[in-house]
Structure 1
């Protein structure tokens, strides 16, 4: 039996506690081994499902631990690239929360360090591991809805907490970095296409942070229309509209939390086909994909080059808004 990959988590973030640390603990071939936090109170919820967890008082101490193989980084956005590079230099594989960088060029030193060390470095873009997105890509690129005409996407939630890192400019907050990654990256993943131009971007800012963005973009052969917002009632969907049908994902981003993962395929003569994936945990699948890449040399489904492409489109959105 192959030894499990021993994971450490840098920081006791709420998202790590509620989603990624339990996913590491549940994933096949993975072991949640260590947490870096100076607060025993923050470590306590992690110990509830991982009682043997080792707690380091600093991020540096965890990276120096020879018993740790891989590191998950859920720190505020502006620290992602810094600690990804430190993890790689310490000889650890690294999975970093999105967005990896705040602009496309931020990815370049991480990609170079990945190539130099031969270690896995990836952005935690978990949705590409979910079977609903793999199925959507297969259907759209396989011609199930004919030539693509338009992609529509909405992703919103309400967050007015001024202390939350998403609402603070100094921590790299903003709707585009937090959820625009999904709205744009999912369209790129399913279609396999890259944008020719962002024709329009209307961005609303509060306290120096983008809280809402309305986007119109052109891809080869189709248009993209999307809205992301941290100041609206929770809503999410993405629809791929072709000449011969429409494919819709009604819970594309927080499957199993916002709603059940469901794909609806509408075609001629009133035919509607529905596929559902109850109980699938995309975070667990993401950890297991890391394991396959590290142990077996399998190609990682979402390499940094793909993530850099999404950030390039985000950069285009900001440039269009300013222009």
Structure 2
């Protein structure tokens, strides 16, 4: 393999062209070597920042490419498990967009294939690689705000384009699969706790996909309340509220796009501290962590078991909502 992971991208989605493709090419100890797309116009976008990239006409051709070590999968949600398994069977490491599966139990086949092959397989859950979230976990678990009592999380944007796969039931669309993973997984990552019970789940539906979900849950040491919506003005914020103070994350999911990533600590009696993270690119950091795991055997900070736990909470919400 050498000193760099040679990446291939399965498909040419807008997100891959604009975010993850450039991140793969920018990340240390890796390079973008190939893509699979039958659309020449889309291939040109990758060639602009990665000259010489190989363009395969079919997905299987990319998986058969001996010059590729790892596959990034940005396909529609309903295709993630199938192509993750195919990539692993082809001897490639896999970084698959979230949600990797649409049911927690569907992670099991990918976990088993990962263990069988000894290859790295992970969900592209980028926020855990961002220093804002890592610092929040350090502060909360370190007792900076005292015993945690409440977590609130909000994430919304407006998208009523029915041609978008996120609005299509057959493609695994919906607000919870698309962005619920962030408000649920973020709470789990920072606190290290798992939900005991979904207390309430109020969902709006359109064409078979959820467009708003307001959720209340009980964790071992705190109460959780949050919402996601794909039919509301863009907004995102997460707050961890303890007995001694409150910690708020600004722009926690789309830093540099929605706004600057910041942590604000409010400790009472007018004491307010702020930490800023203006330059971190969580997509690049995610790929670099993956590269280290592949090349050096470093522990990858977001294993499939963690991602399965987030999907389990989504499953619990759907079950509660009926």
When normalised by structure 2's length, the TM-score is 0.99
Counterpart residue number, 2:17: 17
Deviations 1:210-240 (A, max 9, x none): 1100000000121000000000000000000
Separation (CA, whole Å) in 1 of partners of 2:161 and 2:140: 39
Aligned to 1:7: 7
User: Could you state the TM-score of these two structures normalised by the residue count of structure 1?
Assistant: 0.99
Match of 2:256 in 1: 256
Aligned length: 322
SS in 2 for 1:137: helix
8 Å contact from structure 2 (residues 4, 295) kept in 1? no
Structure 2 gaps of 5+ residues are none
Tell me, in whole angstroms, the C-alpha distance in 1 between the residues paired with 2:39 and 2:225: 44
Partner residue in 2 for 1:229: 229
CA deviation after TM superposition for structure 1 residue 2, in Å: 5.0
Within a 5 Å distance, the mapping from 1:1-323 to structure 2 comes to 2-322=2-322
Work out the CA distance in 2 between the residues paired with 1:264 and 1:277: 12
CA RMSD in angstroms comes to 0.9
Moved over 4 A (4+): none
Could you say what secondary structure the match of 2:136 adopts? helix
Give the gaps of 5 or more residues in structure 1: none
Following superposition, the deviation at residue 3 of structure 1 comes to: 2.2
Instruction: Tell me by how many angstroms 1:269 deviates.
Output: 2.0
**Partners of 1:233 and 1:280 in 2: how far apart?**
25
Q: Secondary structure at the match of 2:102?
A: coil
Q: Deviations over 1:256-292 (max 9, x none)?
A: 1110110001103211110111111000000000011
CA distance in 2, matches of 1:290, 1:218: 33
Structure 2 CA distance for aligned equivalents of residues 82 and 159 of structure 1: 27
Q: Following the alignment from structure 1 to structure 2, what is the Cα–Cα distance between the partners of residues 247 and 229?
A: 23
* C-alpha distance in structure 1 between counterparts of 2:67 and 2:2, whole Å: 16
Cα deviation, 1:123-150, whole Å, max 9, x if unaligned, reads 0000000000000000000000000010
Q: What is the rounded CA distance, in whole Å, between the counterparts of 1:147 and 1:179 in structure 2?
A: 28
Q: Secondary structure at the match of 1:224?
A: strand
1:21-72 superposed Cα distances (whole Å, 9 cap, x missing partner): 0000100000000000011111011111011110000000000000000000
